[in-house]
Amino acid sequence: MAKYRQDRINDSVAKEVSQIIREVKDPRVSSAFITVTGAEVTQDLKYAKIFYSGITGKDPETDRGLASAAGFVRGQLAKRLNMRITPEITFVYDSSLEHGMKIAKILNELDITDEDEENAGDE
Task: Give the global pTM.
Answer: 0.78
Name the nearest CA neighbour of 55 among 86, 34, 31.
34
Give CA separation, 48 vs 37, 39, 45, 103, 115, in Å: 13, 7, 7, 29, 51
Cα 33 to Cα 43: distance, rounded to the nearest angstrom: 30
pLDDT reported for residue 73: 94
11-45 residue pLDDT tens: 999 999 999 999 999 888 888 888 999 999 999 99
Cα 102 to Cα 29: distance, rounded to the nearest angstrom: 26
Report the SS3 class of residue 96.
Answer: helix
How do the pLDDT tens digits run along the chain, 123 residues long? 578 889 999 999 999 999 999 999 988 888 888 899 999 999 999 999 999 998 877 888 989 999 999 999 999 999 999 888 999 999 999 888 778 888 888 888 887 766 666 666 555
CATH 3.30.300.20 is right for the domain spanning 3-94 = yes
Cα 67 to Cα 11: distance, rounded to the nearest angstrom: 21
CB count in 10 Å sphere of residue 108 = 7
